[in-house]
Structure 1
Amino acid sequence: MKYQTYIFDLDGTLLDSLTDLELSCNYALRVNGMPERTLEEVRMFVGNGVKKLMERAIPHGLQNPLFDKTYEDFRQHYLVHNLDHTHPYAGIEEMLQHLLDANKHIAVVSNKFYAATQDLVRHFFGEKIQVAIGERVNIRKKPAPDTVNEALRLLGVSRENAVYIGDSDVDIMTAKNSGMPCISVLWGFRDKRFLIEHGGETFVEKPSEILDI
């Protein structure tokens, strides 16, 4: 473990949240009379925050006159149901405990809205995660470096000896924009071929392998 600070993406990296995202997305679409989306469609829509997820899922996106209502229906449903099926990937909790035992700094940065990010991190990981940053006013979403910079500030550390871990092209870009190396995980929402095409260079197939890098 050559790094001192580990900054993790949340969805698709620490948590398998896809089913709850799909169910809330389709609830909002359904009650507003719109066609529902498949799990695989939702998988490809996620990564840029839930507003972008719904923009991609709703016919005609932001131009749809029902966009705001449908997006708010999604938010309200997801805040109530984001723990229904979501769970940590196998080996995640053990990996985090190893990092904690080694006195590493650990943070989560997500494009998920702030309240849901806080709820999920607190529920599943408690004291293992020292800082959790979600989408909020005045902090640009990933791939901008703002969330990473805020996490480093709250941890009280520099980007030296820090590494970013995520499952998507957005995460690869975020790490690059933040001036730190990226570890791409292969159990998340994007496959290895896609990640290589988008600049991925370092890959892990299970959480314990993060400890060996």
Structure 2
Amino acid sequence: MKYKAILFDMDGTLLDTLADMVSAVNHILSVHGWPLRTTEEVRTFVGNGARRLMERALPPTVTGEDFETVLTEYRDWYQAHNCVDTAPYAGIPAVLAALDAAGIKTAVVSNKPDATTKTLAARFFPGLPAFGQRDDVPPKPSPDLVFRALDTLGVAAADAIYVGDSEVDVATARNAGLPLAAVSWGFRGRQALAEAGAAVIVDTAAELLEVLR
């Protein structure tokens, strides 16, 4: 194997979480009587964490303390309803199993709230270390979470690669000094990834495993 550690984004990379996020966003909007959002709208909103998601989804008149209250409502609802339709993408469990068998360290680095990131990782990938967004750590594309994960794994950046599905992940890998393997099956697609500067883009889990070997 080329690498000692492989860090994965979660949404759109390991797990198809879009339907549950759309449901959570629209639940909050419905409760408050605000216009609902389409799946394609929410697809473009995600990638920068729950705060940015709700900033994009809510009416612009929702600000200050009102926004913070609604953001908490969203986080609480999603944390309680994040496994309704969420599932791993095809071939991902096999990729993780192959890496584990080869002795390669792996972890999730996500802009999802830390509690939700850990909940989903434990549910679908038991034993996989997970690092989500916290108030004391800047979100991606800051490299801070990447460095924290590598430090926990005991692996230098020179021996690691990042895997993600969005322009945020392209920038995160660049900021951390890591190579990137971008996946086209997530929330952005091949064209957006290429435009963001991704040099390596794969279309299937089998292709991803070949890149990582």
TM-score (norm 2): 0.96
Kindly provide the amino acid, as one letter, of the partner of residue 138 in structure 2: R
Q: Aligned in 2, Cα 1:174/1:32: closer, same or farther, shift over 3 Å?
A: same
Q: Where do residues 87-166 of structure 1 align in structure 2 (5 Å cutoff)?
A: 87-127=87-127, 129=128, 131-166=129-164
- How far did 1:64 drift? 6.8
Q: Secondary structure at the match of 1:126?
A: coil
Residue identity opposite 1:106 in structure 2: T
Contact 2:117/2:132 (<8 A) preserved? yes
Q: Distance in 2 between matches of 1:73 and 1:137?
A: 17
Q: Deviations over 1:56-106 (max 9, x none)?
A: 000117637632222122111101100111000010000000000000010
- Gaps of at least 5 residues in structure 2 are none
TM-score normalized with structure 1 length:
0.96
2:187 counterpart (169, 189, 209): 189
1:69 is aligned with what amino acid? T
Task: Please give the secondary structure, in 1, of the residue aligned with 2:157.
Answer: coil
Structure 1 position 37 matched with structure 2 position 40? no
Alignment of 1:19-34 (within 5 A): 19-34=19-34
CA distance in structure 1 between the aligned counterparts of 2:172 and 2:200, rounded to whole angstroms? 15
Query: Pairwise CA RMSD of aligned residues?
Result: 1.2
Moved over 2 A (4+): 61-66
1:35 CA drift (Å): 0.5
The Cα of 1:156 is off from its aligned counterpart by 0.9
Instruction: Give the AA of the match of 2:50.
Output: V
CA distance in 2, matches of 1:212, 1:40: 31
Distance 1:96 1:209 in 2: 13
Contact 2:5 2:105 in 1 (8 A): yes
**Cα distance change, pair 11–194 in 1 and its aligned pair in 2 (3 A):** same
Query: In the TM superposition, what is the alpha-carbon distance from 1:40 to its structure 2 partner?
Result: 0.3
Closer, same or farther: CA 42–64 of 1 in aligned 2, 3 Å = farther
Instruction: Name the counterpart of 2:73.
Output: 73
Aligned-pair identity (%): 45
In the alignment, residue 3 of structure 1 is paired with which amino acid? Y
Residues 62/110 of structure 1: CA separation in 2 closer, same or farther (3 Å cut): farther
Query: Would you say the 8 A contact 2:5–2:159 is kept in 1?
Result: yes
Aligned residues: 211
